[in-house]
């Protein structure tokens, strides 16, 4: 009986020890389970996506879309140089004219009389020169005779003293000197006559030039855009002090100026030769052009700079006054290494980007930037062509982080999937 009870107690003790050990193992297993499961879950969590774009070479420029207006290459109101009546006018609006072509002829009776008077003055001056030349020749001949007589008497008086009275010698010498003075006077009169001829010729040239202004001619090849006068109309001389109407207006339109106002923010970036895409609203025509000139100064009222593009117009299919939509590329930089502007993180002292390396790890890289447009920035140093940079939401990524790069939608290749 005692043996049986002792055996039962030993069995119960072994069972209790087994239950206690099992409880400890379960407790430890429960205590360690959360830590092991968390570590396993972290290892199985996928890396986040990161929108990236490659650094690539392209032409970088600021694009400006603005309305421009076609203007004549040259546009001139032709006034009369002198007042007169229109005797003939040979052109009307829309007529094409050539350089030097006579467009109108004025009738100026007073000017004709002035030309005739100046012509007569020239003839008179020429006759005065001939008379003066004759006077010079006569005075020289008299001087030769009187001088020879005076020399002869002087020589005789020296050879035979007392033969010729001293009074006679003095008179001969005086006549000789007087004849020399007459020669000089005749020569002076001849010079004055010649000067008078030059004055008369100048007057004739002046009035002849004014008479030539009676013909109003085209200064260049172009088209008559307006006519202000008719046959018989009195036109006033075109001076800065008069407000008389012109006779006609001639515009040169085989080449047009396309003038566009560039805002102050881009004015300093405009360069000669900058490309432009032009679309004419009236005709739907599209073509390209280049900046030909600009004012290099701002209009104080609009804060814009006037820029012009020369547009050939050989068949006159474009008219001055038409509008065009111009897309101007300013500050162009060819073959620039560029990245999207949204990839930049700008600080006070440095500019950085997040680069995804070959192992899909994030690297923080300091770069130096150059020119930029609305969407892209030129990289001067710190990046190589083809390297991927993260664009947008940069604060979500840390250096060394594993990511899954995905090309942004605008740069995604054909056939690529997420």
What is the extent of the structural domain holding 345?
A: 50-59+335-411
Top-confidence range, 83-87, 91-95, 193-197, 327-331:
91-95
Q: Helices 109-159 and 166-212 meet at what angle, rounded to 10?
A: 160
Query: Residues 158-171: what's their mean pLDDT?
Result: 76
Query: Residues 377-405: what's their mean pLDDT?
Result: 92
Tell me how many domains the chain contains.
Answer: 4
Considering the domain boundaries, does residue 157 fall inside one? yes
- At 14 the pLDDT is 47
For residues 141 and 228, membership in a common domain is answered with no
Domain end marker among 333, 353, 370: 333
Considering the domain boundaries, does residue 317 fall inside one? yes
Q: Are 122 and 201 in contact (CB under 8 A)?
A: yes
For residues 340 and 267, membership in a common domain is answered with no
Domain holding 233: CATH number? 2.40.50.100
- At 54 the pLDDT is 95
pLDDT digits (tens, 9 = 90+) for 275-310: 899 999 898 899 999 999 999 999 999 999 999 999
Three-state DSSP at 177 gives helix
For residues 280 and 326, membership in a common domain is answered with yes
For residues 221 and 355, membership in a common domain is answered with no
Among 418, 403, 408, which residue's Cα sits nearest to residue 46? 403
Q: Are 222 and 250 in contact (CB under 8 A)?
A: yes
Give the lowest-confidence range in 42-46, 117-121, 134-138, 141-145: 42-46
Quick one: pLDDT band at residue 179, thresholds 50, 70, 90?
confident
Considering the domain boundaries, does residue 39 fall inside one? no
Domain end marker among 333, 350, 369: 333
- At 213 the pLDDT is 85
Domain end marker among 333, 367, 386: 333
For residues 261 and 276, membership in a common domain is answered with yes
For strands 49-54 and 404-407, give the pairing: parallel
Between CA 93 and CA 223 the distance in angstroms is 8
Considering the domain boundaries, does residue 360 fall inside one? yes
Considering the domain boundaries, does residue 11 fall inside one? no
* pLDDT at 241 exceeding the cut of 80: no
For residues 370 and 229, membership in a common domain is answered with no
Considering the domain boundaries, does residue 281 fall inside one? yes
Three-state DSSP at 307 gives strand
pTM of the model: 0.60
Domain holding 314: CATH number? 2.40.30.170
- At 43 the pLDDT is 47
For residues 123 and 187, membership in a common domain is answered with yes
Tokens (6 digits) for 168? 């006679």
- At 409 the pLDDT is 64
pLDDT digits (tens, 9 = 90+) for 1-32: 444 444 444 444 444 444 444 444 334 334 44
For residues 113 and 207, membership in a common domain is answered with yes
For residues 122 and 99, membership in a common domain is answered with no
For residues 144 and 199, membership in a common domain is answered with yes
Tokens (6 digits) for 69? 């207006």
Tokens (6 digits) for 105? 């002829």
For residues 259 and 223, membership in a common domain is answered with no
Considering the domain boundaries, does residue 113 fall inside one? yes
* pLDDT at 149 exceeding the cut of 60: yes
Query: Residues 355-369: what's their mean pLDDT?
Result: 93
- At 239 the pLDDT is 64
Domain holding 374: CATH number? 2.40.420.20
As a whole number, the mean pLDDT across the chain is 83
For residues 103 and 118, membership in a common domain is answered with no
* pLDDT at 75 exceeding the cut of 90: yes
* pLDDT at 374 exceeding the cut of 70: yes
Cα-based distances in Å from 5 to 8, 10, 11, 148, 371:
5, 9, 10, 197, 99
Top-confidence range, 237-246, 261-270, 313-322:
313-322
Q: Quick one: how far is CA 173 from the chain centroid?
A: 81
Considering the domain boundaries, does residue 22 fall inside one? no
Among 406, 338, 398, which residue's Cα sits nearest to residue 373? 338
């Amino acid at each position: 009986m005692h043996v049986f009870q002792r055996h039962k107690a030993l069995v119960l003790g072994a069972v209790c020890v087994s239950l206690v050990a099992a409880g400890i193992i379960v407790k430890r297993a429960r205590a360690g389970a959360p830590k092991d499961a968390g570590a396993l879950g972290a290892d199985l969590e996928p890396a986040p996506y990161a929108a990236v774009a490659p650094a690539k070479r392209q032409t970088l420029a600021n694009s400006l879309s603005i309305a421009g207006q076609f203007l004549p290459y040259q546009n001139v109101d032709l006034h009369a140089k002198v007042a007169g009546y229109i005797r003939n006018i040979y052109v009307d609006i829309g007529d094409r004219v050539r350089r030097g072509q006579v467009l109108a002829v004025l009738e100026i009776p007073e000017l004709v009389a002035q030309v005739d008077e100046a012509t007569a003055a020239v003839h008179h001056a020429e006759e005065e020169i001939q008379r003066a030349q004759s006077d010079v020749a006569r005075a020289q001949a008299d001087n030769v005779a009187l001088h020879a007589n005076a020399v002869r008497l002087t020589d005789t008086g020296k050879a035979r003293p007392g033969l010729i009275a001293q009074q006679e010698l003095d008179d001969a010498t005086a006549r000789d000197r007087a004849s020399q003075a007459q020669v000089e006077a005749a020569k002076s009169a001849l010079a004055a006559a010649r000067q008078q001829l030059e004055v008369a010729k100048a007057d004739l040239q002046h009035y002849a030039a004014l008479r030539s202004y009676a013909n109003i001619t085209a200064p260049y090849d172009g088209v008559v855009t307006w006519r202000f006068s008719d046959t018989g109309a009195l036109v006033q001389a075109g001076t800065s002090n008069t407000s008389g109407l012109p006779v006609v207006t001639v515009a040169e339109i085989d080449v047009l100026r396309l003038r566009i106002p560039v805002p102050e923010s881009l004015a300093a970036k405009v360069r000669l030769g900058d490309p432009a895409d032009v679309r004419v609203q009236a005709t739907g025509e599209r073509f390209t052009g280049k900046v030909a000139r600009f004012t290099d100064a701002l209009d104080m009222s609009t804060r814009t700079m006037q820029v012009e593009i020369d547009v050939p117009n050989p068949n006159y299919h474009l008219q001055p006054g038409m509008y065009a939509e111009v897309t101007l590329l300013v500050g162009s930089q060819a073959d620039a290494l560029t990245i999207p502007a949204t990839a930049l993180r700008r600080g006070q002292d440095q500019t950085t980007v997040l680069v995804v390396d070959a192992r899909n790890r994030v690297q923080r890289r300091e770069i130096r930037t150059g020119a930029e447009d609305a969407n892209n920035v030129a990289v001067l140093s710190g990046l190589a062509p083809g390297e991927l940079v993260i664009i947008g939401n940069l604060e979500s990524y840390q250096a060394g982080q594993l990511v899954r790069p995905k090309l942004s939608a605008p740069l995604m290749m054909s056939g690529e999937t997420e």
